[in-house]
């Protein structure tokens, strides 16, 4: 039979061991390192972005006479950053494992704890952020009178028989209470939505990789 280039290629691979895939033991280690390093990097950038935002927001609100709003947001966001920064430091403890699978499982456990903690915190800080917006604008100085009192005055002028509680229309209190309640109930879900936008791809990679290694183990 003619030894053409095409035949040599076809038959050569059929006859020889040239198609044996090499062992790629280290591949999963590299993938694991890539995922966790990427997550750590993104988380740090995220925390820095929150700090930068808090500072800029504080400056803008102070400049515009909304000092209470600026300080409140600054304190809430700073608390959030401190808690998460400390938690991120705990990631170093995850690093003591013999193989990439154990490492990834520990990392995933750490991540789930982190998410659960932040979900709980979100149920508090979303309503708090909302309330500080209301209080901040309520206390905003509108030509010598706090904006809230001025608005209540306007409302009373139009609806003199409106029901008031401690100088605030009851309807406004109910409206705020409903929003605070909704934010409390769905704070965790809103947080997860927020997280999935930023970290969704990396979480999917982590799940895929764990599933991959588990399948290999089986």
Where do contacts with other proteins occur on this chain (CB under 8 A)?
2-6, 8-13, 15-24, 26-27, 30-31, 34, 201, 205
By C-beta, is 34 or 120 nearer to other proteins?
A: 34
Nearest approach in angstroms of CB 22 to other proteins is 4
Nearest approach in angstroms of CB 201 to other proteins is 6
- Exposure string of 69-80, with b = 16+ CB inside 10 Å and e = fewer, is bbebbbebbeeb
By C-beta, is 17 or 161 nearer to other proteins?
A: 17
Where are the strands (E) in the chain, listed by range? 141-142, 145-146, 164-165, 168-169
By C-beta, is 34 or 189 nearer to other proteins?
A: 34
By C-beta, is 90 or 200 nearer to other proteins?
A: 200
In whole angstroms, give the CA distance from residue 142 to residue 201.
46
Which residues make beta-bridge pairs with 168? Answer: 165
Q: Nearest-CA neighbor of 124 among 78, 73, 187, 75?
A: 187
Handedness of CA 93, 23, 38, 211 (dihedral sign): negative
* Lookup: tokens for 117: 């903690």
* Lookup: tokens for 84: 């998460």
Nearest approach in angstroms of CB 17 to other proteins is 6
In whole angstroms, give the CA distance from residue 164 to residue 171.
8
CB atoms within 10 A of CB 111: 19
Nearest approach in angstroms of CB 46 to other proteins is 19
Nearest approach in angstroms of CB 40 to other proteins is 17
By C-beta, is 27 or 48 nearer to other proteins?
A: 27
């Amino acid at each position: 039979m003619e030894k053409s280039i095409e035949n040599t290629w076809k038959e050569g691979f059929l006859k020889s061991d040239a198609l044996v895939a090499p062992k790629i033991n280290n591949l999963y280690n590299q993938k694991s390192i890539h995922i966790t390093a990427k997550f750590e990097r993104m988380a740090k950038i995220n925390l820095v972005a929150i700090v930068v935002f808090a500072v800029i927001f504080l400056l803008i609100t102070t400049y515009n006479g909304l000092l209470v709003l600026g300080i409140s947001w600054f304190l809430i966001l700073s608390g959030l950053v401190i808690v998460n920064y400390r938690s991120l430091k705990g990631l170093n403890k995850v690093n003591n494992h013999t193989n990439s699978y154990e490492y990834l499982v520990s990392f995933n456990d750490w991540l789930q704890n982190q998410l659960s903690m932040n979900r709980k915190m979100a149920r508090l800080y979303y309503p708090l952020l909302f309330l500080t917006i209301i209080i901040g604008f309520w206390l905003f100085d509108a030509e010598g009178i706090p904006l809230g009192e001025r608005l209540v005055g306007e409302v009373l002028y139009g609806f003199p028989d409106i029901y008031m509680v401690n100088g605030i229309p009851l309807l406004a209190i109910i409206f705020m209470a409903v929003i605070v309640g909704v934010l409390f109930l769905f704070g965790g879900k809103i947080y997860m939505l927020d997280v999935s936008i930023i970290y969704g791809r990396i979480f999917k990679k982590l799940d895929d990789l764990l599933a991959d290694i588990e399948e290999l183990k089986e």
